[in-house]
């Protein structure tokens, strides 16, 4: 696909490096989709699950977008060990979270807030992975290599990646709002619960 001679050799290496980075991002999106799919099964609260389903579908959407971006390149399926180090670190955090889910039937109510906060933190990590792609030479080199095969520019690729980054920020906000509303409802339910009473005699109840 790319000429192996002269200066093109260097460009080919740069394009492949950019494509490998994007392929690593796709691996993160696929792992995120799998993670959220499992979270849905482990949280016994429909009002929370409706939000998680939206996040799950965004991960699937992002994965498909990156797949289309990679079509003009020679990079298809990338092994995790060949990914950028920061991407591997984020993947391991997601995988550890997924592993923790596998050993419980449901996430207990007292653990849900911290668990949702950990998911919000993962969204921050993925945001930073995309941010590095946009700010570094990776995006420019990717466009330089594939623009002769597909109508892509720096502006529209930046726009696409920024949209996915905005989704990460929205995911983070949605998860933290879930924490707030869950804790608020839990507090209200506790306050509205009937007072504990014990039997004293046939004529009186005491709190």
The string of pLDDT tens digits covering residues 96-141 is: 999 999 999 999 999 999 999 999 999 999 999 999 999 999 999 9
Tokens found for residue 154: 């720096």
Domains within the chain, CATH numbers bracketed: 7-206 (1.20.1260.10)
Spatial contact of 48 and 42, defined as CB atoms under 8 Å apart? no
The pTM (predicted TM-score) of the whole model is 0.83
Closest residue by Cα to residue 72 from 126, 136, 135, 18: 18
- Count CB-CB contacts under 10 A for residue 66: 21
pLDDT of residue 118: 95
Euclidean distance between CA atoms 68 and 63, whole angstroms: 9
The string of pLDDT tens digits covering residues 134-191 is: 999 999 999 999 998 889 999 999 999 999 999 999 999 999 999 998 888 765 555 4
CA 127 distance to own-chain centroid: 8
The string of pLDDT tens digits covering residues 51-94 is: 999 999 999 999 999 999 999 988 877 788 888 999 999 999 99
Closest residue by Cα to residue 182 from 50, 19, 37: 50
Tokens found for residue 26: 């796709």
Q: How far is CA 195 from CA 68, 189, 203, 204, in A?
A: 59, 12, 18, 15
Residue with tokens 């720096």, as numbered in its chain: 154
């Amino acid at each position: 696909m790319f000429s192996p001679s002269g200066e093109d050799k260097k460009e080919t290496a740069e394009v492949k490096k950019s494509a490998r980075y994007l392929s690593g991002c796709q691996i993160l999106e696929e792992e995120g989709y799998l993670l959220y799919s499992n979270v849905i099964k482990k949280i016994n609260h429909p009002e929370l699950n409706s939000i998680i389903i939206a996040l799950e579908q965004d991960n699937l959407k992002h994965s498909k977008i990156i797949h289309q971006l990679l079509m003009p390149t020679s990079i298809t399926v990338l092994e995790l060990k060949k990914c950028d180090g920061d991407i591997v670190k984020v993947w391991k955090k997601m995988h550890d979270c997924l592993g923790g889910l596998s050993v419980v039937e449901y996430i207990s109510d007292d653990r849900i807030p911290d668990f949702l906060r950990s998911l919000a933190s993962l969204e921050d990590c993925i945001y930073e992975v995309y941010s590095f792609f946009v700010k570094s030479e990776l995006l420019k080199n990717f466009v330089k290599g594939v623009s002769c095969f597909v109508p892509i520019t720096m502006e529209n690729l930046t726009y696409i990646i920024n949209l996915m980054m905005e989704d990460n920020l929205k995911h983070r906000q949605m998860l933290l709002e879930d924490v707030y509303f869950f804790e608020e409802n839990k507090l209200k339910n506790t306050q509205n619960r009937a007072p504990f009473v014990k039997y004293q005699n046939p004529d009186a109840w005491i709190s």
